[in-house]
Amino acid sequence: MEDAVQGILLAAELAKTAEVWNIGGDNDYSIDEMRQVLDGKNVTPSPCPSSLSSEKAKKDLGYEAHGNELKALASLSAPMTLQPAGSAAKILLYGSRGWIGRQFVELLQKEGVAYVEAKTRPGTDADEVIREEMVQVAPSHVMSMIGRTHGEGVNSIAYLEGGPDKLKLNMRDNLYAPWILASLCEKMNIHFTYLGTGCLFKYDAEHPIDGPGYKEDDVGNYDGTSYSAVKCFTDRLLRHFDNTLQCRIRLPVNYEPDNRNLVAKVSISISKDP
């Protein structure tokens, strides 16, 4: 199954008008023997050379089947784990180990929504590795809570101010990571939700403190920090994907004394003042 999906994705990316490829393996098996395997019977099907050659797909696309067909079919006959009652979705979640991500996982568990915490990290792992995980998990939705807002010794976005090394981290985690996820989801027709930031706007003549607020389709106009400057471009880029929903969060707080909680950070700062 994974081989077939990979072949289809390669074809979708490289196809030209009226192009045809055979996506398959090296062997064919009889229908009767396949039925017995799916019924869980202990049989050893007899392979014969495939009637459809995949040489063109191998040459043009770099496609080649590596999986064990019989093992894959046997796994289909195994009992399946049902999703929690009331949930038709399966979310592949990126950034589940961050402060907001952990709280979101707790919410998913409470609401009985099926989810898988991503093992790969976009921007760090190769794009092909990210795509492979999506294929294996086969989610109905992908969500990302990845973002770079602090680092070693600096518990704020001030960590991103500096030279090329900081710019690389900023661009990798705050722009490229969400972009590659949105791009892959668009190609696979998977809904993608990105938790971005509201730190994109500033008060101006048209938007005074007591005046009208900004709307969802307004373009960010605040570039007072490296973080916001990059996030403004991310917000604009992701608007080009039909399958992407952007959610903006401004200054997250809760009732826990966590060092990522704004209220806790302010309290700690005040307590340190002489």
The DSSP result for 143-200, as a single string, is EE------BTTB-SGGGG-SSHHHHHHHHIIIIIHHHHHHHHHHHHT-EEEEEEESTT
Q: The tokens of 236 are what?
A: 């604009």
- The pLDDT of residue 246 is 95
Residues of the chain with CATH 3.40.50.720: 90-272
Within 8 A by CB and 6+ apart from 26, the residues are 49, 50, 54, 65
- The pLDDT of residue 40 is 72
- The pLDDT of residue 49 is 81
The answer to whether the beta carbons of residues 157 and 225 sit under 8 Å apart is yes
> What's the pTM?
0.68
List the Cα angle 199/242/88 in 5-degree steps: 95
Query: What DSSP line would sit under 89-100, residue for residue?
Result: -EEEEESTTSHH
Positions in the chain short of pLDDT 50: 77-82
Q: The tokens of 268 are what?
A: 């700690």
- The pLDDT of residue 41 is 75
- The pLDDT of residue 82 is 43
- The pLDDT of residue 79 is 44
The answer to whether the beta carbons of residues 222 and 228 sit under 8 Å apart is yes
Q: The tokens of 99 are what?
A: 């402060």
CATH number for the domain formed by residue range(s) 90-272: 3.40.50.720
The answer to whether the beta carbons of residues 259 and 268 sit under 8 Å apart is yes
Q: How far does CA 198 lie from the centroid of its chain? A: 20
Residue type, 9: L
Quote the DSSP letter at residue 61: H
**Residues 241, 234: Cα–Cα separation, whole Å:** 12
